[in-house]
Amino acid sequence: MKHQLCFCMLLSFAVCHISFAQLHVKAEKKVGGSDNDNFTCMVKTPDGGVLMGGYSSSNTSRQKSEDCRGATDYWIVKLDNTGKYEWDKTIGGSSFDKLSAISLTSDGGYILCGDSNSPASGEKTEDSYGFTDYWIVKLDANRNVQWDKTIGGEYIDDATSLITTTDGGYLAGGWSTSAPSGNKTAAFFGSNDYWIVKLDNAGNIQWDKSYGGSESDLLTNLMQASDGGYVLAGYSYSSVSGNKTQINRGADDYWVVKTNASGIIQWNTTVGGDSYDEVADIVEGQNGSIIVGGSSKSNASGDKTQDNHDINQNSNDYWVVKLNSKGKMMYDRTIGGPGEDKLTGLYKNTHGTVLYGSSNSWAGDKTDPAPGTWVVALDNSQQIRWDVTLLIYEAVSAVAISNNRFALGGNYRVNQTYDFQITDVRYNNTDNELTSPSEANINAANSKRSSFTFIIYPNPASQVVHIQSTGKAKFELSDQHGKVLLTRIIEGNEDIPLYNIPSGMYFLRNTTTNATQKLIIAK
């Protein structure tokens, strides 16, 4: 199937608490290749533009300027501050390379981080250590590869995040199923652990650390704190074990780990209710506080003070938690409606916190009954200032352009494919009204982490998983070794029984689009 990455403007409507504002058609521009181009991340550049990243299987075609090296490669695309395409760059080996995160570097270059199972080939200079490894690539300001580093153990190591640190080095993070092996020296506690790796500015490993308990612990994001240490956030199924010091509250909980600059744990905090609570993102607040955002199916229980908006607890709400600098919970806020509200990210501005994710709710805190990407702005007292629903399939990433303007990246469906979509949202500082938003679409198939051509729930699942798909497609469920355990042809929505499949981590793949999602089975 042919996919193109395209800028196209859509006429749609945004709704907020205070007033209505119409999205305006701007311009149309297409950028992309002839095959799958999958958006995963985005960063604001010093010139006011954005650098988007993902992974691609397109050869030279349309505006994609280089052939694919293997099955999928890292692919980055630079846009200027008007949304005009400037350049693109393909980086990869002979197999699968999937970009997860981008960061700007102090020398004006870029650093990329993701997963790879490619041998030394293409731009990749080192063989893989296991099934998948972290793969970090440093580019100079002219986009030339300066160095690359393969980091991993004997099994699966999945990078989710990367930051440039204040000492000029880098910190990569994700989760690992590997025992000490390859160039992984950190301990293995069980199932999956948080795993972070500190590099200097030349790509040399300075140290690596694991954090986890006896069950699955999945790191989703990290940041450097104002004291020079690091804050790691994800979700955990573990009770007290390994270096996890608090019991779990429900199925899975938010788990936040604070370390010093050397990766030594200073404190760790478990926050959760009686059901599933999964972290998506973190930002630092005032006085060293930490704002943690994610999704929750829990009612008021454990640390959670408000009920789920779905009385049957079958759907997620946005759940925001604020911790003080010592990891003690200051407050929490549940935001949602009777449908599925899945938060994928948040960011801070002077007015408060902006949350974004996907929603099909039609009531509750949501003022627009239409499904789409749901953006909610909270003030510093955690009261809703405004909310808006945008016609984006699912938000992936957002960057603040200015105090009253942000760019939101996600997907938009066109026929049986999905587009990258960047929405330029602006609002007035005095009356909170959204003004002059413009939308730009960048066409692609799907995103590894957040933009899928199908939805699965519940996740984790026990006996049955429900698939919500578009069109007719064949789905395969495979284990961590790649062994296919079942195959099913699905058109629309259908349940897949899991009665004979043991607890563990699995991968569900739409073979038509190659979109893959991780499925946790917990019995």
Task: Over range 25-30, report the average pLDDT.
Answer: 36
CA quadruple 436, 442, 445, 446: dihedral, nearest 10 = -50
Separation of alpha carbons 514 and 345, rounded Å: 24
The SS3 of residue 459 is coil
Q: Which residue has the higher pLDDT, 148 or 441?
A: 148
The mean pLDDT value of the chain amounts to 84
| Six-digit token string for 384 | 């809703």
Confidence of residue 334 (pLDDT cuts 50, 70, 90): very high
Task: Over range 331-341, report the average pLDDT.
Answer: 95
pLDDT in tens, 511-522: 776 677 778 888
Task: Over range 164-176, report the average pLDDT.
Answer: 97
CB 486 within 8 A of CB 496: yes
| Six-digit token string for 121 | 């080939």
Q: Which residue has the higher pLDDT, 136 or 437?
A: 136
Burial class (CB in 10 A: 0-12, 13-18, 19+), 2: exposed
Separation of alpha carbons 314 and 327, rounded Å: 29
Number of residues in the chain:
523
Confidence of residue 415 (pLDDT cuts 50, 70, 90): low
Confidence of residue 8 (pLDDT cuts 50, 70, 90): very low
Which pLDDT does position 250 carry in this prediction? 87
Which pLDDT does position 11 carry in this prediction? 26
pLDDT in tens, 254-306: 999 999 999 999 999 999 999 999 999 999 988 899 999 999 999 999 999 99
Cα-Cα end-to-end distance for the chain: 38
Q: Which range has highest mean pLDDT (287-296, 305-314, 384-393, 440-449)?
A: 287-296
If you search the block for the tokens 């075609």, which residue do you land on? 61
The pTM of the whole model exceeds 0.95: no
Q: Which residues of 258-289 are buried (b: 16+ CB within 10 A; e: fewer)?
A: bbeeebebbebbbbbbbbbbbbbbbbbbeebe
Task: Over range 135-155, report the average pLDDT.
Answer: 97
Which pLDDT does position 491 carry in this prediction? 77
pLDDT in tens, 202-242: 999 999 999 999 999 999 999 999 999 999 999 999 999 99
Confidence of residue 416 (pLDDT cuts 50, 70, 90): low
Domains and CATH numbers, the chain: 29-442 (2.120.10.30), 454-521 (2.60.40.3080)
Separation of alpha carbons 446 and 455, rounded Å: 12
Separation of alpha carbons 279 and 161, rounded Å: 13
Q: How far is CA 359 from the centre of its chain?
A: 16
CB 507 within 8 A of CB 472: no
Which pLDDT does position 403 carry in this prediction? 67
Q: Which residue has the higher pLDDT, 210 or 22?
A: 210
